[in-house]
Structure 1
Amino acid sequence: MNTAERLIESTRELLWERGYVGTSPRAVLERAGAGQGSMYHHFRGKRELALAAIRRTAEDLRERAEEQFGGPGTALDRITAYMRRERDVLRGCPVGRLTQDPDVMADAELRAPVDDTLRWLRGRLAEVVAEGRDRGELDPATNPDLIAAALVAALQGGYVLARAADSTEPFHQAVAGVLTLLADRSTTGSD
């Protein structure tokens, strides 16, 4: 991994752990094992490096989600695979956590990949729900946009509840609850 990549990866981890303000250039350089001038050789400053890191995190989230969304099975099977996939629950969502960072939210350019990714996630989930509805797997009255919003809210809210309780149980309950509600709309009898 070259120096620029090490800087981006280190920034990704630090943003997830500490947020934007807590991610100092010095901490990035130490984590990346890079020399003092290397950050400014590859990036104009902390903001540009943070933007590259946020974009990379967003891309990674999309790619990982698409593995389940584009996989085999019914719409409910694919949504369940996504909702129940392995996650570091107590660390929270690396994209969703950025919504709680006032410095990221105050900067339109830093906020854009966060908003775009969460909007993409709702849209992609709505597509999968619509596929299931259109194939007769879900009740014809199912509203894909509302279901997608509820699924994303359950995930993000589940992270918050888990972190507050210092336990993964509230997250798993939120996921199980929203999946139960979705399964109740199923016409195939799977859960």
Structure 2
Amino acid sequence: MSTPERLIESTQELLWERGYVGTSPKAIQQLAGVGQGSMYHHFSGKPDLALAAIRRSAEQRMAQADQELSGPGTALERITVYLRRERDVLRGCPVGRLAQDPDVVADETLVRPVAETFAYLRARVASVLDEGRERGELDPGLDPVATAATVIAVLQGGYVLARAAGSVEPFEQAVEGAVALIAARAAD
């Protein structure tokens, strides 16, 4: 793996674990196994490297969601695959945690890929739900945009509940509740 890749991956991991303030250049360098000169050769500083790491995390979440939501099956089946996929629930969402980081939110450049990720996820889920309505799989009265926002909120809120409880159970309950709500709108 190249030095820039090691730096980006290490920064992704530290941002997820510690947040922006807790991710020091020294910690990044240690985790990546590179010296200070290597870091500053490839990136102008911590903000530049953090932006690359946030963008990478965002791209990974969007690609994973797109893969799950583009799979075979009905709209309900694809949404269910997306909701039920294996996650490191007690660590939270690597992008969602950044939305709760005051230093990331306060920086227009750093928060942009976070906001774009959630906008993409809402739109992608809405398109699957809309497709389900058009194919007669879901109630035509279902609002795909509002329901998609609910799906994303359930996931992010589920992470928060699970972390607070120190248990994956609240997350799993939230996911199963969302699946049941959408299933209740499935066409007979």
Question: Matches of 1:170 and 1:106 in 2, distance apart?
Answer: 30
The answer to whether the aligner puts 1:185 opposite 2:185 as a matched pair is yes
SS in 2 for 1:37: helix
Partner residue in 2 for 1:55: 55
Summarize deviations over 1:25-81 as a string: whole Å, max 9, x none. Answer: 000000000012111100000000000000000000011111111100000000000
**Counterpart for residue 7 of structure 1:** 7
* C-alpha separation in 1, matches of 2:172 and 2:5: 34
Aligned counterparts of 2:154 and 2:138: Cα–Cα separation in 1: 20
Q: Which residue number in structure 1 is paired with residue 148 of structure 2?
A: 148
Instruction: Quote the Cα distance in structure 2 between the aligned partners of 1:134 and 1:143.
Output: 12
Q: How does 1:79-158 map to 2 (within 5 A)?
A: 79-158=79-158
Identity of aligned residues (%): 65
Q: CA deviation at 1:24?
A: 0.1
Q: How large is the RMSD of aligned CA atoms in angstroms?
A: 0.5
**SS of structure 1 residue aligned to 2:136:** coil
CA shift at 1:116, angstroms?
A: 0.1
1-side partners of 2:89 and 2:39: how far apart? Answer: 31
Q: Secondary structure at the match of 1:163?
A: helix
- Residue 24 of structure 2 is matched in structure 1 by 24
TM-score by length of 1: 0.98
The number of aligned residues is: 188
In 2, the alpha carbon distance for the partners of 1:59 and 1:130 equals 24
Gaps of 5+ in 2: none
Q: TM-score, with normalisation over the residues of structure 2?
A: 0.99
Instruction: After TM superposition, give the deviation of residue 107 of structure 1 in Å.
Output: 0.3
Cα-to-partner distance string for 1:93-125 (whole Å, 9 max, x where unaligned): 000000110000000000000000001000000
Q: 1:157 and 1:145 mapped to 2: Cα distance?
A: 18
Taking the aligned partners of 2:38 and 2:150, their CA distance within structure 1 comes to: 43
Verify: 1:41 aligned to 2:41, yes or no. yes
